[in-house]
Structure 1
Amino acid sequence: MDAVTRDEPAGAGGLADELRVAVGAAEEAGALLRSRFLDAFRVETKGEDGDVVTELDLLAEELITGRLAARFPADRIRAEEGGELAGRLPARPGSRRTWLVDPLDGSNNVVVGLPAYVVGIALCVDDEPVLGVVHDPVAGRTWRAVRGEGAYGPGGRLLVAARPPGAVRPVLGWTQGHGVGGDPAARALKDGLEAGARRVLQLWAPLLTWSLLAAGLIDGFVGYRAEEIDLPAGSLLVTEAGLAVRALDGGPFSARIGQSDAARSYVACRPELLPYLLDLVARAARTG
């Protein structure tokens, strides 16, 4: 599938080739996942928090990292399951490019037969996200963004409209890092959101939630000590679609890689909802 729509800038911020390869790899991996979704496949646990890795994660990851390494051999690649993979050549002088690959975001959903999963790829330069791609194999949708060039979905450029005056309470997404467990602050924050929202969705696939927000299908997304692998692609999609992303205290938020998990907590939403959500978060913090 062609990565560039008629609405998309032809230059794609100087990353047209990177965007084409990333979209192609994500969609090829998505086709593999979709074709094997109902098959029997190997499942293993990882870590002490009950997370899982499947045979499908590994197959999709091998496909994507192979495509990226073949086309950009001097770039670093960090993959969800394989960790950091060295490029085929030494890094070019002055080149600080890192690809992040989540080959199957929603592995727990796949294990229980729930068709809610996506493929995610991001490119960071100097640790800052400059390109993000998310592909939904179930619905056949691809979202993509290049820094400074906007975000795009199946219908073209994503420009999220404001909510109508008097709209009902918002629909929010929620995610927390794998290691959070029973953190009282996380419980208080989620309870506070439940009290102020129409629905709080916990999809077990953060990149799918980021994409729904970028497309204007939900109103906000709150993360507590979120996983790093998903953050650059998701936050870039949302900011390029014109939505707001802030730290929990309302201060600036950065999706740069290499930060502590404490720095990966955020509120992302339609701009007009930001005061409301930050107030919910502040009240939850006081009760936590």
Structure 2
Amino acid sequence: MFDEATHAYPDAEARRHVESLIATVCEAGALAKARFDSDLRLDDKAHGDIVTDVDLACETIIIAGIRALAPTHHIHSEEAGVLDGASDWSWIVDPLDGTHNYVSGIPLFGMIVSLCFRGEPVAAILHDAHREETVHGTRHGPVFLNGAPLPALSPEKPLRSATIGWTQGYAVGDDPTARRVRDRVEANAKRLMATWSPVIETMKVLTGKFGGMVSYDGEFTDLSAARALVPALGGKVARFSRGGEDRRFVVGAAPYVDALLAEIGAVMSD
């Protein structure tokens, strides 16, 4: 998917940018954790999604941090939309991923902040706000969990022994193809888990707790960090689709991705 010759980027600069932003993302996480299980102001979005005043407050913190760090960078944030800049660098921001979990009192939520070079994710920060854990790194590696380097993804067991995450866009609903894909993955893995929090699922993949994850027409933020960091640990990112849809991905340890693609391909060809 990622052609290094075409999309070559300055890795040291990317690392400098994300490392400079970690404290800001953790600040947003601390705010979210402090407000967890408190009274929230809720507003409806499209397709049954919601936004809270905490989403907006976290977004304000993160965008201000990016602007202070790199005022010319383009920003695409889930709530604020597109904030133009004049640079090859851009940021994808989900200031409070897992909002439905958050308002339901389920402690699976956090922040996804991905750095792109000429439109391709090349570095990222993932923050589990409740557990106060942070993963960051660049496509060239290394990738760190709370400052300690993560090992390569090298599973020794078959797909049937792996937990696989599932995420889908709010607009998918009861799409019959999505249902068939989901059922096929579930039948061939140890367990399929839909946490409704891509930040948590991506961190589980990167730390080897999940073998991989499947995204079916997810939101633009959902797999941005995985696309940057999974290859750095020797994992694989692959699209699956017959019509060129941009947001159908399998990511994770390479053997699991290959096995999942084979199973999904059988469903998609029906």
Same fold (TM over 0.5): yes
Q: What is the root-mean-square deviation in Å for CA atoms of aligned residues?
A: 2.1
From 54, 57, 75, the equivalent of 2:55 is: 57
Shift of 1:261: 8.2
Residue identity matched to 1:265? R
Shift of 1:71: 2.0
Shift of 1:155: 5.9
- Note the alpha carbon deviations across 1:206-258, whole angstroms, 9 max, x for none: 12211110110111111111211232212212111211111226x9xxxxxxx
Shift of 1:166: 6.3
Partner of 1:77: 75
- TM alignment of 1:62-211, pairs within 5 A: 62-87=60-85, 91=86, 95-154=87-146, 156-165=148-157, 168-211=160-203
Whether the 8 Å CA contact 2:125–2:225 is kept in 1: the answer is yes
Distance 1:96 1:265, change over 3 A: same
Whether the 8 Å CA contact 1:105–1:206 is kept in 2: the answer is yes
Q: Give 3-state SS (helix, strand or coil) of 1:64's partner.
A: helix
Shift of 1:167: 7.8
Residue identity matched to 2:16? D
Segments of structure 1 that go 5 or more residues without pairing to the other structure are 1-10, 252-259
Distance 1:42 1:111, change over 3 A: same
Identity %: 32
Is 1:212–2:195 an aligned residue pair? no
TM-score normalized by structure 1? 0.84
Is 1:274–2:254 an aligned residue pair? no
Whether the 8 Å CA contact 1:130–1:146 is kept in 2: the answer is yes
Whether the 8 Å CA contact 1:228–1:264 is kept in 2: the answer is yes
Whether the 8 Å CA contact 2:125–2:137 is kept in 1: the answer is yes
Mapped to 2, the partners of 1:16 and 1:222 lie a distance apart of: 27
Mapped to 2, the partners of 1:166 and 1:143 lie a distance apart of: 26
Mapped to 2, the partners of 1:229 and 1:243 lie a distance apart of: 19
Distance 1:75 1:162, change over 3 A: closer
TM-score normalized by structure 2? 0.89
Is 1:264–2:247 an aligned residue pair? yes
Partner of 2:5: none
Shift of 1:96: 1.9
Residue identity matched to 2:22? V
Q: Give 3-state SS (helix, strand or coil) of 1:15's partner.
A: helix
Distance 1:165 1:76, change over 3 A: closer
Whether the 8 Å CA contact 1:210–1:235 is kept in 2: the answer is no
Mapped to 2, the partners of 1:77 and 1:46 lie a distance apart of: 20
Partner of 1:32: 31
Whether the 8 Å CA contact 1:12–1:149 is kept in 2: the answer is no
- Note the alpha carbon deviations across 1:113-172, whole angstroms, 9 max, x for none: 100001111111110112100011111110012121322112622223533356853210
Distance 1:16 1:174, change over 3 A: closer
- TM alignment of 1:215-234, pairs within 5 A: 215-234=207-226
Partner of 1:4: none
Shift of 1:37: 0.5
* Runs of 4+ with >3 A deviation: 165-168
Whether the 8 Å CA contact 2:25–2:62 is kept in 1: the answer is yes
